Amino acid sequence: QVTVRDALNQALDEELERDERVFLLGEEVAQYDGAYKISRGLWKKYGDKRVIDTPISEMGFTGIAVGAAMVWLRPVCEFMTFNFSMQAIDQVINSAAKTCYMSSGSIAVPIVFRGPNGASAGVAAQHSQCFAAWYGHCPGLKVVSPWSSEDAKGLLKASIRDDNPVVMLENELLYGVPFEMSEQAQSKDFVVPIGKAKIERQGTHVTLVSHSRPVGHCLEAAAVLAKEGVECEVINLRTIRPMDIETVEASVVKTNHLVTVEGGWPQFGVGAEICARIMEGSAFNYLDAPAVRVTGADVPMPYAKILEDNCIPQVKDIIFAVKKTLNI
């Protein structure tokens, strides 16, 4: 068993060793071993040129990283939380995402923007937004959102090796969670292909589609519903952009019901995009009931724990949505 934190640390270590163009920069990533200890031991191993502490200036160090990527270095730019990436969103979108297109392909920007995304615990409104829909909206970016340790390691390695800007949305509450990791996943050559979803549980009655931490909630809900004779197929999206809608369509054709689950806000969200794609495609003809979305509440995140719990999708909310769509 390997925690998500250790899987990310492994991936960074292996890629820093494999390619001397890779370097990590961000607040407290070096001497302090990272705010969440993702970069533990890397500064001592690789030194000041490869693991770089920055001032608290997201726009500044993100601009430095984007410029470095334009001259074929491979920066990994850590945001202490993606909520602070708003300070640097001009660099991420206008500088990184659009340059390859605007230069007719002559300038690639191989960079990874990574850090915790979405709600943690007790950090209130300004630290709890999910940026999956924000960055997933923008052409020129790839956006990945891991759940398990295998996802985290494989997607980070794939993102560092990719020649496009990749936004990697992690979850702070998953960092300390241990997951089974196969021997293959612990090898230095292991990558998870960007743009491919994974079926975490096979089922026949309803399709549950999710990403990041809510995948675990979906699996818990599926286990409860299985005792009542309802078999849920759980899909871990892994990638928000490009979205693997083919896997979702194939599942909907089989189950005839769709429920999407996400921690972000409902309006223009990831679930909304999945529902629209299903409606526009041939899988729509197989639906026996309207698709249902389970999302975060449409409010800035409250600080009080009981209110916070009611703003984030819980297992009971998923079970309720499944029963609603199956009319049971």
Residue 258 CA to residue 278 CA, distance in Å, equals 9
Residue with tokens 């030194």: 47
| Residues contacting residue 288 through CB under 8 Å, at least 6 positions apart | 256, 257
Look at the block and give the residue holding tokens 């021997």.
183
C-alpha 290/C-alpha 26 separation (Å) is 44
Q: Mapping DSSP to helix (H, G, I), strand (E, B) and coil, where does residue 261 land?
A: strand
* CA neighbor of 65 nearest in space, from 100, 26, 36: 26
313/316 Cα distance (integer angstroms): 8
**H or E, element range at 2:** strand 2-3
Which strands form 198-201's sheet, in the order they lie side by side?
Answer: 198-201, 232-236, 206-210, 258-261, 292-294
Active site residues: 58, 127
